[in-house]
Structure 1
Amino acid sequence: MRNSSRRTFLKGTAGVIGGSVFATGSAVATGDEGTERFLIDLQEVDRSDVPDSVDIIHDIGEIDLLAASGDPDEVPGVASTTPDIAVYQDDTGPAVEHSGPNGKGNSASHNHDGPATNTELQWDKRVQEVDNLTDKPGGGKTVHDVTEGAGTRIAIVDSGVYDGHPDLADVVNPELSQNFTTDPYDFRPNGAGDHGTHVAGTVAATNSNDGPDGGVLGSAPETELVAYRVFSGVEAASGDVLGALVEAAKDGCDAANISLGYPPLPAENPAVIEIKEAYERTAAYAREQGMLIVNSAGNDSQDMDEDGILSLPTEAEGIFGVSATGPIGFGWGGKHSDNEEKWLTGNRLEEPTTQPAFYTNYGSAVDVSAGGGNADLNGPEEYYRDLVLSTVVSDDGTDDPTSGYAWKAGTSMAAPQVTGAVALVRSLNPDASVEEVESLIQETASMPDEGETYHGAGHLDLQALVDAASGKGK
């Protein structure tokens, strides 16, 4: 692993990395008019004893919780309430924007028919052989020759999804999609940013943009997405996330992607312990309904096995945690700058696509790793090609949002790679249990040199996964 400039990278990429808060401690979410948000444990107090002065925001009775706002001291019982800790978007600043596959119009990096198209810049999908994504495909069998995720449903619990994007227009179910915040808007971003739209594209973009640069392709373009918006800005309430996850399970989703989290939290703090238990109740309920919750492991370069801290929700039992990997040198130029086919194998690929990203959290809570992007800001201007390219939206708080594409990096970008994989498995085996889906993803994963510490059971391998799910594996 290249460690020489790790801290320099971490500081320099604060604007492009998703999945970390870069802060210490925790904050309590606030309700309308500044009132305190808190959770009520119905295992500790009867519902009838909750006074009318307390505003119930989400009734999550399926897991014996209420998300509430007001004065927690008005609820009887010392153990009946806990602060509703704020949860954060996995985005710490603007993405490196992509205004076309090669904004300067220089085609020297591509030797086929002009500048690279968007799909040719998707190293994460190309290395997984999702489909023939170059203008000169190799002709071998791809993942989409087996399945594109038809008949499945995936929840995106995030900042909203812009369903007006040409690569997402026929993917999002607007009837089921919901806003779980207390603002008056719908499930679309409405000023909450493009994070959820980027995640959605990684799962299910359809490459439907008929412009000269084309679109991007997701792992499971025939799945159905349901957007559950839990952010109005970069901060949300844990209760909104828990309510959205329970609703997603009730709506029959096969998996829920939560590319969100908290800074490292003190493990012995009573409120932290209660939030961890709330996620475990939620995961248990979701699994009973057949839904797997996939979570980004976090971007703090944190050893999650360190005593005294918790990385949530990843360390909650029943949550599937994903760490991030990415290349260094994809399409940078050099000896093979004129041969796009060699971008993944050429002399300038200094680190492979399975290289643990410099920012990723690691430890025993990682179930698998997946492509989330990497970066060397001391490299050439093409460094951003080592991030993940996907769908975005700008001016999302207006009546006329603008669809586009951008590179981002983070465990936020790695988690939806796995969430899309769940859709592929369930499309082939609709009756597979959550445990069977998890086991199949882990058993077919390949193990890079860094081992379990960074990769859990291994690195996501879609080809091996769909072969095993379709009965063609070894």
Structure 2
Amino acid sequence: MAGHNRRTFLKLSGSVLGGAFAGSTVVAAERSDRFIVKTEEEKRLSDLDIVFDLPEIGCAVVRGSESDVQQSRAVKSYAPDLEIETADPSVKSQAYEGEAVDDESYAYQWDKQDLDVPTAHQTTKGEGTRLAVIDSGVDASHPDLEVNTDLSRDFTGDSLGAGVPGGGDHGTHVAGIAAAQTAGTTGVAGTAPATDLVDYRVFSDFGGTNGAFSILLAAVVQAARDDCDVANLSLGAYPIPREGLGSFYGGMVNKAMTYANKEGTLLVISAGNEAADLQHDGNVISLPNEGAQALSVAATGPVGYGYALFAGEDLEASPESPSNYTNYGTNAVDLAAPGGDYRINDRYLAPLVDEIPAYAWDLVFNTVSTPLTDDDGNYVGSEPGYAWKAGTSMAAPNVAGAAALVKSVNPDYNANQLESALKRAADVPDGYDKTYYGSGYLNIVDAL
């Protein structure tokens, strides 16, 4: 691999490598002690310390020096693992300080209203399906979430385990959009509340391996191993060069995603928040949403929902309108779904109710959970709550939840059939073209 310019790769991809949570500001660090290796068939890596063994895709993640990797006869080729440090994992967010009550909170959920989720729930709530959230951790103690902690896994090795928001509140918000419970008198609605929700945590703020490229591969493979019908990845890296090391990383992502798809796991992935034209952006690629078998989701959102809700004014933009930050591209995006939008000016910074600024109501309202620490910075628990966030990170789980509903009523569907059903039911809104929508805007009821 010495012929590749690693410095150029890191400089290019590190500027926005992901929004590891799609759209966040990140820094990518090349690991000198962990490597992703392609393995020679029928040769065992007995001379290396294996972190993740992924024979399904012909690779492994190993710990050790580069010289050890070079000397191993079982290694065909390799590249250093990349670890990602993130900041501000959503395009825009706003905390909610009050007590969420089901009826009141549903009024805030313009996304579920526009998708007519209650009508879909008359047919199914996702019974008999399994949905994985590959993210910063889903708080299993949140009263509005029911998490399969037996299958959930921590891929970061920070000793906190799974079912905790060890990488921040992003994953709990994503999980709530897909699968928040609808029974009882408190909380918010998820799209598929009866699905079997699994937490695959790949980010850590507490000393673990944070957002490494290798653990993304491992989590995707694990979703297939655990018979997940859908896996949501509200994360990504952009821009990555298509050549050199970018080709190596892209090839490994494609192998993992192709394997998952073949095993019946539909991968629903956020398109990213850079307002980039992925169709005409040169010799770079956005991963994993432009990887093999990805269902890439762009974001839409209203402008003025708070003023419509509390003052009876007309919306400035409908919930189906493309969000100002969303990535786009006719052949790079497969569907669009509610992810939230916002305007930041005097009108939208002004508070409407309970000192909440007007822009917040145009974001997506759902579950969050704040990590709590002691004086030494050690994780000691979490504080469940609710908040607004916007991003393609929020659009993807609306689609992932919809996929679980479709799978529930069509249990024999494979991953491609699930995706096809969602695409066939979608339409491009009047006045727009496929650039921001791919097949169209998510229509759950017709997909069922």
TM-score bracket for the superposition, by shorter chain length: 0.7 to 0.9
Q: Distance in 2 between matches of 1:444 and 1:438?
A: 10
1:23-422 matched pairs, under 5 angstroms: 27-30=28-31, 35-43=32-40, 47-48=43-44, 50=45, 52=47, 54-76=48-70, 80-87=77-84, 91-92=88-89, 95-100=93-98, 117-131=104-118, 142-168=119-145, 171-208=146-183, 210=185, 214-233=186-205, 235-268=210-243, 270-305=244-279, 306-333=281-308, 337=310, 346-347=313-314, 349-363=315-329, 364-378=331-345, 379=348, 380=350, 381-396=357-372, 398-422=379-403
**Number of residues of Structure 1 aligned to a counterpart in Structure 2:** 406
> 1:84-139, CA deviations, whole angstroms, 9 ceiling, x for partnerless residues?
2335669536831011279xxxxxxxxxxx997111100000111112xxxxxxxx
Measured after TM superposition, the shift of residue 289 of structure 1 is: 1.1
Higher strand share: 2
Q: Is the 8 A contact 2:236 2:272 kept in 1?
A: yes
Question: Please, which runs of 5 or more residues in structure 1 have no aligned partner?
Answer: 1-15, 103-113, 132-141, 340-345, 467-474
Q: Secondary structure at the match of 1:395?
A: strand
Measured after TM superposition, the shift of residue 396 of structure 1 is: 4.5
1:20 matched to 2:44? The reply is: no
Q: Is the 8 A contact 2:20 2:237 kept in 1?
A: no
Give the TM-score of the pair, scaled to structure 1: 0.80
Q: Secondary structure at the match of 1:240?
A: helix
Q: Is the 8 A contact 1:17 1:409 kept in 2?
A: no
Amino acid of the structure 1 residue aligned with 2:53: D
Measured after TM superposition, the shift of residue 465 of structure 1 is: 1.1
Q: Is the 8 A contact 1:89 1:259 kept in 2?
A: no
> Greater shift after overlay, 381-390 or 181-190?
181-190
RMSD value over aligned CA atoms? 2.5
Q: Distance in 2 between matches of 1:70 and 1:241?
A: 20
> 1:9-64, CA deviations, whole angstroms, 9 ceiling, x for partnerless residues?
xxxxxxx99521346xx73453xxxx432200014x7643x463x42110011111
> Greater shift after overlay, 183-192 or 196-205?
183-192
Identical counterparts, % of pairs: 40
Match of 1:13 in 2: none
Measured after TM superposition, the shift of residue 194 of structure 1 is: 0.8
Question: Please, which runs of 5 or more residues in structure 2 have no aligned partner?
Answer: 1-18, 351-356, 374-378
Change (3 A) 1:266 1:228: same
Q: Is the 8 A contact 2:137 2:200 kept in 1?
A: yes
> Greater shift after overlay, 72-81 or 291-300?
72-81
Amino acid of the structure 2 residue aligned with 1:64: G
Q: Distance in 2 between matches of 1:438 and 1:190?
A: 29
Q: Distance in 1 between matches of 2:87 and 2:420?
A: 27
> 1:176-196, CA deviations, whole angstroms, 9 ceiling, x for partnerless residues?
111111222211335311111
Measured after TM superposition, the shift of residue 311 of structure 1 is: 0.7
1:462 to 441, 444, 448: 444
Q: Distance in 2 between matches of 1:55 and 1:46?
A: 18
Q: Is the 8 A contact 1:297 1:314 kept in 2?
A: yes
Measured after TM superposition, the shift of residue 446 of structure 1 is: 1.6
Q: Distance in 1 between matches of 2:20 and 2:134?
A: 19
Q: Secondary structure at the match of 1:284?
A: helix
Q: Is the 8 A contact 2:273 2:325 kept in 1?
A: yes
Change (3 A) 1:419 1:396: farther
1:444 to 398, 402, 425: 425
Q: Is the 8 A contact 1:89 1:260 kept in 2?
A: no
Q: Distance in 2 between matches of 1:116 and 1:207?
A: 10
Change (3 A) 1:389 1:90: farther
Q: Is the 8 A contact 1:101 1:118 kept in 2?
A: no
Change (3 A) 1:191 1:404: same
Amino acid of the structure 1 residue aligned with 2:440: G
Q: Is the 8 A contact 1:392 1:405 kept in 2?
A: yes
Q: Secondary structure at the match of 2:306?
A: coil
> 1:381-421, CA deviations, whole angstroms, 9 ceiling, x for partnerless residues?
21111000110111345444211000011010011011001
Measured after TM superposition, the shift of residue 271 of structure 1 is: 1.6
Q: Distance in 1 between matches of 2:84 and 2:417?
A: 30
Q: Is the 8 A contact 2:165 2:171 kept in 1?
A: no
